[in-house]
Homo-oligomer: A and B are copies of this chain.
Amino acid sequence: MKIAVLGTGTVGQAIAARLVELGHTVTLGTRQVEATLARTGPDGMGNQSFAEWSAAHADLGVETYAVASAGAAVVVNATSGAGSLEALSTAGAENLAGKVVIDISNPLDFSQGFPPSLSVKDTDSLGEQIQRAFPDAKVVKTLNTMTAALMVHPAQLADGDHSVFVSGDDDDAKAIVTDLLHSMGHRDVIDLGDITTARGAEMWLPLWLRVMGALGTPIFNVKIVR
């Protein structure tokens, strides 16, 4: 499939590289292509610069949000939660219409330090906000409940014996996303229901953050034992 991955951070890089590995044609979307490609030196978290990473992934195109989305059948929102609605607006509603939009973002608010709180929660969710803002897109919330490395290579932990959730209004879109998740190695995809159930998946983050603190690693995931 032709897939646009919006966002060039850790999550976007992990998703894009894995989708290429699985045989998809992937274009990364960014706000300003020149500025993104000009990023050299490690980022604030000590990660490789985008320029270095990109040079090592020559099979990945880098385009604006709009160009990347226009050419894709599936669009992945891997931008930060605080910037997601604006990034998708820049991508253009016409470039998202009728398409599966996989929303991985979390509405984290770091303004009061760590751990972050949620900028939207409980009676609404970022997934719903995106669906309302782009009513012709088929938004599916998924993968936001784990660290990037496990999103794309779940089998590295307990042979993939843990769970991932999907939330969305369109059953066909959820089926496409579920197939993608299976192809990455996810074994237990739980369909929570319509896009309002993204409230649950996003509100997992505050517990995820405390478990990460307790375990001292982000390499863990939830399994729904039943």
Distance in angstroms between the alpha carbons of A192 and B209 in the assembled complex: 10
Q: How many of these chains are in the complex?
A: 2
A142 CB, nearest partner CB in chain B, Å: 13
A121-B122, A197-B213 known; 16 new pairs, CB 8 Å cut-off, are A112-B123, A117-B122, A117-B123, A162-B223, A165-B207, A190-B211, A190-B215, A192-B210, A200-B206, A200-B211, A203-B203, A215-B224, A220-B224, A221-B226, A223-B224, A223-B225
Please, how many angstroms separate the alpha-carbon atoms of A122 and B112 in the complex?
12
A201 within 8 A of B: yes
Report the nearest B residue to A119, measured CB to CB.
B122
Interface residues of A in 129-176 (CB under 8 A from B): 157-158, 161-162, 165, 167
Which of B117, B118, B161, B223 makes the CB contact (< 8 A) with A222? B223
